[in-house]
Amino acid sequence: MKAAVLQGTKQLEVMEWNYPSLSAKEVIVKVKSCGICGTDQHIYHGHPGSAEVQHPIVLGHELAGEIVEVGAEVSSFAVGDRVSIDPNIYCGTCEYCRSNRAHLCNHLQAVGVTRDGGMGEFCVVPEANCYKIPDEMSFEEAALVEPLGCVLHGFKKIQLSSLSSVLIIGGGFIGQLFLQLVKHQNVQSVIVSEPADNKRELLYRLGADEVIHPSKAANLAVDVVIECVGRAESMELAVKSAGKGGQVLLFGVAAPETVISVSPFEIFSKELSIKGSFVNPFTHDEAISLIDKKVIDVQSLISHRFTLEDLPEAMANFPRLSVSKAIINH
C-alpha cells in the first residue's frame, strides 16, 4: 500500500509500505479521510505526541474510513461498516485505567502516534477503537470527530451559566470548535482573541459576540478563559484576562520546553481555577452525535485538502500555508 512515512525529524516520504496484518480483535480500515492535527506538526518537528514516537511511523490520528477486513474474534463490526476512529489505546490495568482516568494511562498507545495511522491507504485498528457513523455523515466529518472529542473533554472541565462571560484565546480550528460549544450554552457573552483579520467573518458566523486583537484581551476580566494556542504569551494572557473567581482552561499544546511566567499572588488574589486537558477519554459517541445533529459544524471549517502525494511539501511548508484545518482525502 502507499503511505506517507515519517522516517525522522522533518523527513516525510510517500512510499510503498507494508499492508497491515491484524490480530483477532482488530479490523483493517480503508482510510477515506484523515485530518492533519497540530500534534502531527509537533511530531514532524521532533516533539513527542500524546506518547513517545518511534520512527519510522505513519502519522494520522484523526481518521475515518470503511472496514475491509475483520479479525476472527471481532463481533461488533463487519466488512463494509463506515467508522470513525478513536486513536487512543489504553492498557486497562494501570492505576489510572483502574481509577476511571484511562486517558492518563501509563502505557498509552495511539493510532498515528505509536502505531501506524491514517496517512496511509489502510490502517489496522482495535475493534474497541471503532465507532460506526451515520450513513449521511461524510468521511471528512467523521475524521474530525476526534478533535471535537478532545475539545469536549476540555469543555467538561469548565462550568458555564447564562451569566458567564467567556474569552477564547485563538480563533483557529480548535477555538472554532470551542466557540460553537460555548455558544450552544447560551452564555452571556463570548469574545474571541484572534490577530488574523481573515478569520473574523467566520468567527462571527459561528457565534462570537466580539472578535478582538490579543493586545486588548489583557484588559478584560472574564469568568472563563479557554486558551487554544499553546504559546507562552497566550497562556500568560489567559491568566491576566481572567476575572475574580475565574476559570482558566489551558487547552493549547505547548512545546515541551515552553515555560510561562505567572504571578502566584494573582492566582491567589483572584482565586483562579487553572486546569489542563489531555486527549479525549470516551467522548467519541457524543462528538459523533453533535456533528450528526448539526449542533457542531466541522465541514465548513476545513481550509485545505491534500492527497498523500501532497504531504511532504505540505508538512514542510505548513506554517506558511495559513491552514485552519487540513484534511487528506484518499
CA distance readout (Å), 69 to 81, 91, 116, 142: 10, 24, 17, 19
Known catalytic membership, residue 55: no
Cell digits of residue 236: 500568560
Distance CA 41, CA 307 (A): 17
Q: Which of 39, 61, 153, 284 is catalytic?
A: 39
Q: Which of 42, 61, 103, 330 is catalytic?
A: 42
Residues catalogued as catalytic: 39, 42
